[in-house]
Chain A
């Protein structure tokens, strides 16, 4: 049995990549491997022609073009990406990731490329919840592993930003799949969920297709979306930062944002 396992392991190791400094690898191969999520429209999704598309995809293309490298996109699950330890599998994640203290332990966040407003969404017929102060004791849906989960937990700290206010207490968080959460909220106020916290773009896509949701003003906070890399290659982080800065300076990022969101969310990119 052991022998078989070893032979299998050796056989399947052939196409594997062994860990090494990222910048060297990108220079040597001329390929930059980016990971993103295909279930997060309009940032990353699969379009009508069965191609990956969205803000993150266009940003990754511009990033690779500026580096003079060929772009290779992979689409593992979010949990695989945020758990770090990529071991050279992937070079960069332009995947709408918000830095948190926990994530910063396993990943580096060398550059910010846009910031995303977090909003509170309720059912159209809801009369109980007027603002985020009313969600105390209510059932609030959040994407599992998302920064919104940390927000309702009152533990969200965005590195490098002012501490957030949490004007609520004892919220019952319902972490889960965002699409399923929105469907549950659409069933009626309080049927399965009382509210959802998500990014404005996701909330807009959901409410445009379901018509029974209401996005409350004002925006709760703006969370930075930063490019993530594996920890341990400062030269690569430097390259990522200067490349994103160049894309911001020449207006490429703003153009991408206008194209997909109809507004420029890249003003505080840096």
Chain B
């Protein structure tokens, strides 16, 4: 596409974003928000200060929970995808059973079972551990399917050609299959992580002082409900945008050599 047309396209995109944002702000005008209260609570919501028990809180805790769960989910997903693609019937069965169980039940139920039911059989987990395990296991199951589909989408000829060249197995996996699969895995995986960011609010039911917990508590302490809900929503949105930007960079990196579609 000519450079000139591309620039025009971008300008129009930004102007439309601006117009929509202004429209949204104008819509919120009718709510008679108390901005002083939002300003007063924002440093706590963002987690710029520590909670009374000395632990991180607010958005900082949300980011911590999400990042930690992301790493664990990735490890779980790689193992599950490997089991799913394996010829071993036992590994295949364990992987599919796990994926089916955790994709087929609500995350809220999983959180509650891990936090409330496990103690009854003698395993008493802390709030943070329970939340991390629930998020990791739930998202690990989804991510495993994403990884599996990415790997399967790499044409069989690629692997065959590499085998014909006599490359060792790990080289085929890491240098031939993985880079091509990653290009397909990153967009849906990015979407999963954005969704996990917001689902991390479920750990508030175990009393972790993350963004959603603080917003709800402040809202109820003063009945300034809309202020706190909108402030929390905006912070989640801002964090999601950061996640999306990271995803975009990764997409570009792994999409090198592939024609760029308009708008990217």
Instruction: Please report the C-alpha to C-alpha distance between residue A206 and residue B223 in the assembled complex, in whole angstroms.
Output: 7
Instruction: Please report the C-alpha to C-alpha distance between residue A17 and residue B122 in the assembled complex, in whole angstroms.
Output: 10
Instruction: Please report the C-alpha to C-alpha distance between residue A76 and residue B208 in the assembled complex, in whole angstroms.
Output: 8
Asked if B124 and A19 sit within 8 Å, CB to CB, the answer is: yes
- Min distance, Cβ B225 to any Cβ of chain A, angstroms: 6
Asked if A18 and B79 sit within 8 Å, CB to CB, the answer is: no
Q: Is B49 an interface residue (CB 8 A)?
A: yes
Known A1-B79, A15-B126, A46-B214; contact A75-B221, beta-carbon cutoff 8 A? no
- Min distance, Cβ A17 to any Cβ of chain B, angstroms: 6
Asked if B207 and A75 sit within 8 Å, CB to CB, the answer is: yes
Within A169-200, the residues touching B (CB, 8 Å) are 178-180, 182-183
Q: Give chain B's interface secondary structure class.
A: helix
For B126, list chain A residues within 8 Å (CB).
Answer: 12, 15-16
Number of A-B contacts (CB under 8 A): 114
Instruction: Please report the C-alpha to C-alpha distance between residue A89 and residue B223 in the assembled complex, in whole angstroms.
Output: 31
- Nearest residue, chain B, Cβ from A80: B116
For A178, list chain B residues within 8 Å (CB).
Answer: 220
* Number of chain A residues close to chain B: CB under 8 A: 47
For B220, list chain A residues within 8 Å (CB).
Answer: 38-41, 45, 178-179
Instruction: Please report the C-alpha to C-alpha distance between residue A52 and residue B51 in the assembled complex, in whole angstroms.
Output: 10
For B44, list chain A residues within 8 Å (CB).
Answer: 50
Question: Per a CB cutoff under 8 Å, which of A35, A50, A182 touches B52?
Answer: A50
Asked if A9 and B217 sit within 8 Å, CB to CB, the answer is: no
Instruction: Please report the C-alpha to C-alpha distance between residue A39 and residue B115 in the assembled complex, in whole angstroms.
Output: 21
Q: Is A51 an interface residue (CB 8 A)?
A: yes
Instruction: Please report the C-alpha to C-alpha distance between residue A46 and residue B44 in the assembled complex, in whole angstroms.
Output: 11
Known A15-B126, A77-B207; contact A89-B119, beta-carbon cutoff 8 A? yes
- Min distance, Cβ A162 to any Cβ of chain B, angstroms: 33
Asked if A83 and B116 sit within 8 Å, CB to CB, the answer is: yes
For B225, list chain A residues within 8 Å (CB).
Answer: 179-180, 183
- Nearest residue, chain A, Cβ from B119: A87
Q: Is A48 an interface residue (CB 8 A)?
A: yes
Q: Is A210 an interface residue (CB 8 A)?
A: yes
Interface residues of chain A, those whose CB is within 8 Å of chain B, are 1-2, 4-5, 8-9, 12-13, 15-19, 35, 38-41, 45-48, 50-52, 73-77, 79-80, 83, 85-89, 178-180, 182-183, 205-206, 209-210
Known: A1-B79, A35-B207. 9 other contacts (CB 8 A): A1-B98, A4-B76, A8-B133, A17-B124, A45-B217, A46-B221, A52-B52, A179-B220, A209-B224
